[in-house]
Amino acid sequence: MTDKTPVVYIVSDSVGETAEFVVRAAASQFDGRQWDMRSVSYVHERSVIDETVASAREEQAIIAFTLVLPELREYLLGAARSFGVRAIDIMGPMVDAFEEAVGHPPQRKAGLVHQLDDEYFRRVEAIEFAVKYDDGRDPRGLKRADIILIGVSRTSKTPLSMYLAHKRLKVANVPLVPEVSPPDELFLLGERKKVIGLTIRPEELNLIRQERLKALGLTAEASYASFERILLELDYAESIMQRINCPIIDVSSKAVEETAGLILDYVRSRGKSV
């Protein structure tokens, strides 16, 4: 085995992360061996392939590549054969197998996997947003939110925020409590268009709150679950929603998914893609 550090050119028509991941996984099987990995990204011209193959020949290097356009794939493979350079098509055979399996050609667009990654990161960002701006913790988040949910305690504001976050929507929620004035941001014209009110039948809220008190080890007779308190809160919440003039959804006997579906319909009606 030569002591010279082997060189691998990683050629891609996009960022090249897919090829690099495979190359590094293969290299890891050779314990303690150092590899010189050189990325050649966003390759769309034959001249770049010519230069890379020539360099690889001089350095007795390997070329590992992911090129989705057939003409570039074939050109690189042909150039590598001409110069006696070993070239490994990492993605081509798999794409060909998929094409045979589904019966129609692929899109042949570079970087599509990163569009999927973008979707993932948008979802993570939305989840982090929902956690940060849950329960009215920071009214500054209302300006950045796609949706603002308002309602009394136990109207599913938090579960809905998390569910919608998985749909890549940034959701903030604000509890409505008679003793605490809502943040001024709720009444600004721009933010008012984002607000959706949540309400619930008093008797159902009474049962939910009683169960919540039991879970906390508290007596069910606490004012939090009393009908008098519940009616006071619901009346106050309704007055705020009417002031904002926002759509109101009755969550009584509705699963989170059902309520979320209604919210998504509202978002789409506003012309926002989800």
- Structural domain contains residue 171: yes
Compute the distance between CA of residue 79 and CA of residue 110 in angstroms, rounded to an integer.
21
Range of the domain at 196: 117-269
pLDDT score at 1: 45
Domain limit, last residue, from 95, 110, 125: 110
**In-domain check, residue 54:** yes
State residue 27's pLDDT score.
87
Q: How many domains does the chain have?
A: 2
Local confidence band at 152 (pLDDT 50, 70, 90 cut-offs): very high
DSSP letter at 230 equals H
Lowest mean pLDDT among 21-35, 72-86, 91-105: 91-105
Calpha distance 54→79 (Å, rounded)? 9
Q: What is the mean pLDDT of residues 175-192?
A: 93
For residues 27 and 137, membership in a common domain is answered with: no
Q: Answer with the residue of higher pLDDT: 169 or 2.
A: 169
What sign has the CA pseudo-torsion 264, 250, 127, 177? positive
Same domain, 99 and 207: no
At residue 75, the pLDDT reads 95
Among 59, 84, 110, which residue terminates a domain? Answer: 110
Q: Which band of pLDDT confidence, cut at 50, 70 and 90, is reported for residue 189?
A: confident
Mean residue pLDDT of the chain comes to 89
- Judgement on whether residues 125 and 253 belong to the same structural domain of the protein: yes
273 vs 64, more confident: 64
Q: Say what the pLDDT of residue 108 is.
A: 58
Q: Same domain for 102 and 127?
A: no
Measured CA to CA, the distance from residue 185 to residue 173 in angstroms comes to 12
- Mean pLDDT, residues 64-77 taken together: 91
Is the model more confident about 7 or about 115?
A: 7
**Which pLDDT score is estimated for 273?**
52
| Closest CA relative to residue 23, chosen from 79, 68, 80, 62 | 62
- Binned at pLDDT 50, 70 and 90, residue 107 comes out as low
Write out the E strands in the chain.
7-12, 36-40, 62-66, 86-89, 147-151, 171-175, 195-199, 248-250
Q: Which of 110, 130, 146 is the last residue of a domain?
A: 110
Residue 100 lies in a domain: yes
For residue 184, what are its two tokens?
A: 């001024």
Kindly state the average pLDDT of the residues 235-263.
96
Judged by DSSP in three states, 148 sits in strand
Please tell me which residue, 41 or 142, carries the higher pLDDT value: 142
- What would the mean pLDDT of 209-234 be, rounded to a whole number? 90
83 with 129, same domain? no
**Given the DSSP bridges, would you call strands 147-151 and 86-89 parallel, antiparallel or unpaired?**
unpaired
Per the CB < 8 A criterion, the answer to whether 34 and 5 are in contact is yes
CATH of the domain at 231: 3.40.50
Over the stretch 26-58, which tens digit does the pLDDT of each residue have? 888 887 678 899 999 889 899 999 999 999 999
Q: Are residues 192 and 255 in the same domain?
A: yes
pLDDT of residue 198: 98
